[in-house]
Amino acid sequence: MNVVECTAYGSSDVLRVRQRPVPVPSAHEVLVRVRATTVTSGDWRIRSLQMPPGFGALARPIFGFSRPRQPVLGSEAAGEVVRVGHAVTDFQVGDRVVLFDGAKMGCHAEFKCVHTARCLVKLPDSIDDVTAAALPFGGTTALHFLRATGLAKGERVLVIGASGSVGSAVVQLAKDCGAFVSAVCSGINAGWIRDLGADEVIDYQTTDVAALEAQFDLVFETVGALNLAHAMRLTRDGGRVALIAGGLGDMLRSVFTGHRRRIKVAAGPAEERADDLQKLVERTVQGAFRPVIDSVVPFAEIARAHDRVGSLRKRGSIVLTLEACPDPTRGPAYRPPPIVD
Ligand SMILES: NC(=O)c1ccc[n+]([C@@H]2O[C@H](COP(=O)([O-])OP(=O)(O)OC[C@H]3O[C@@H](n4cnc5c(N)ncnc54)[C@H](OP(=O)(O)O)[C@@H]3O)[C@@H](O)[C@H]2O)c1
């Protein structure tokens, strides 16, 4: 099978198509033929070693000293089960599935084995592979942090980085909770972020977000644009802060700060939970959730997808297709209008 290996740390030139044997599923695994996968900010971070402040020194011990220990990146995929391990009872050959294997990665390949106890969910016919592949990374991260912080009807939430993969999911899920959503993005993205449900859009290119007068029940920082101190200044006493892309210093500080003003800070890695992915699938079928898709790129052009992620301007997810997939503009996924900058 064809896989894309990250052969070193560096620019997207380090990516190489390689041949590997098709893996054999163990007792509790299924083998999935990958039809669509994504290049996420996580893949880009590992390939380029661009880490949030303070995590740089930890990256090589965690991911591999001279190159990624797991050279096949890609954490999420959609496709079809083509083999099952002998102890698997809840999946069968022919099932369409979506999966999120987090740090185990390995989705930038034509076939991928995944344990059935991991984040693996069956897909209904009404969700195409491109839409499905864009569900887990942003959506489950958003659900994890919304669960950690809590959000009630009528509360005010500030979503910083609303046009990213995590942020565009947070906007929709927070609206679903009945919150008043203030979304921070650049002006070019304002229209489609409003279409996603934001009540108010703040253009960070013309407004100093850190200096806003408003106080929010929840500040959801998804891109590392505001540090913990700034995020807390925008939070009411007794409110919450979600720090998705915070630096190491802020993560450590989050344990000790906030007590005086009773502000709860949620930071650190998100869990990958099958029930969260199942919820996203159901909400998508109901038309209540639309994973945002920046672009759909053939698998062979993966370097182009990495470069788009590295621009830090992508909108939602970049999906790689391994063969002809249905037109995502006709499925439930939402595609923002083309970029003109
Ligand atoms: N803790 C965890 O478990 C976890 C899980 C997933 C992701 N993450 C981290 O979360 C971060 C977000 O991931 P992602 O995939 O959602 O990112 P992404 O899609 O790559 O974010 C790109 C978006 O960020 C926006 N942006 C850039 N600078 C901004 C600013 N100053 N203010 C507001 N928006 C800005 C861009 O909009 P413009 O074009 O308008 O600038 C673009 O649409 C990453 O750092 C990732 O590593 C953490």
pLDDT (tens digit per residue) in 37-92: 999 999 999 999 999 999 999 999 999 999 999 999 999 999 999 999 999 999 99
Contact 192, 208 (CB under 8 A): no
Q: What is the pLDDT of residue 77?
A: 98
* Mutation probe of ligand 1 site: the residue of 58, 222, 292 with most atoms within 8 A of C-beta: 222
Look up the CATH architecture of domain 138-267. 3-Layer(aba) Sandwich (3.40)
| Residue (of 51, 37, 120) closest to 81 by Cα position | 120
Ligand 1 geometric centre to CA of 214 (Å): 23
Ligand 1 geometric centre to CA of 29 (Å): 32
* Strand arrangement of the beta sheet that strand 156-160 belongs to: 200-203, 180-185, 156-160, 216-221, 235-243, 264-267
Residue 187, classed as helix, strand or coil, is helix
Contact 48, 13 (CB under 8 A): no
DSSP 325: -
The yes-or-no answer to whether 2-135+291-330 and 138-267 have a common fold is no
- Whether 134 is in the pocket of ligand 1, judged by its Cβ within 6 Å, is no
Q: What is the pLDDT of residue 8?
A: 97
Joined tokens for residue 143: 């659900």
Indicate the pairing of strand 180-185 with strand 200-203.
Answer: parallel
Q: What is the pLDDT of residue 323?
A: 75
How far apart CA 54 and CA 260 sit, in angstroms, is: 26
Question: H helices within 177-301, ranges in order?
Answer: 190-196, 228-233, 248-256, 274-285
Q: How far, in Å, are 28, 78, 121, 236, 283 from residue 39 at the CA level?
A: 27, 13, 20, 36, 23
Ligand 1 geometric centre to CA of 161 (Å): 5
Query: What does the pLDDT look like over 159-201, one tens digit per residue?
Result: 999 999 999 999 999 999 999 999 999 999 999 999 999 999 9
Q: Convert 119-167 into a string of H (helix), E (strand) and C (coil).
A: EEEECCCCCCHHHHHCCHHHHHHHHHHHHHHCCCCCCEEEEECCCEHHH
Q: Give the start-to-end residue ranges of the domains of the chain.
A: 2-135+291-330, 138-267
Under-50 pLDDT residues of the chain: 325, 327-330, 341
How far apart CA 17 and CA 3 sit, in angstroms, is: 6
- Whether 308 is in the pocket of ligand 1, judged by its Cβ within 6 Å, is no
**Closest CA to ligand 1's atom 45:** 245
How far apart CA 105 and CA 102 sit, in angstroms, is: 6
* Mutation probe of ligand 1 site: the residue of 38, 39, 41 with most atoms within 8 A of C-beta: 41
Q: What is the pLDDT of residue 108?
A: 98
The superfamily CATH assigns to domain 2-135+291-330 is Medium-chain alcohol dehydrogenases, catalytic domain (3.90.180.10)
Q: What is the pLDDT of residue 337?
A: 66
Ligand 1 geometric centre to CA of 108 (Å): 21
Tell me phi and psi for residue 19, to 5 degrees.
Answer: -100, 135
> Vertex 131, ends 121 and 114: CA angle to 5°?
35
How far apart CA 96 and CA 107 sit, in angstroms, is: 15
Residue 6, classed as helix, strand or coil, is strand
How far apart CA 251 and CA 45 sit, in angstroms, is: 18
Amino acid code (one letter) for 315: R
Joined tokens for residue 164: 């990213």
Q: What is the pLDDT of residue 308?
A: 97
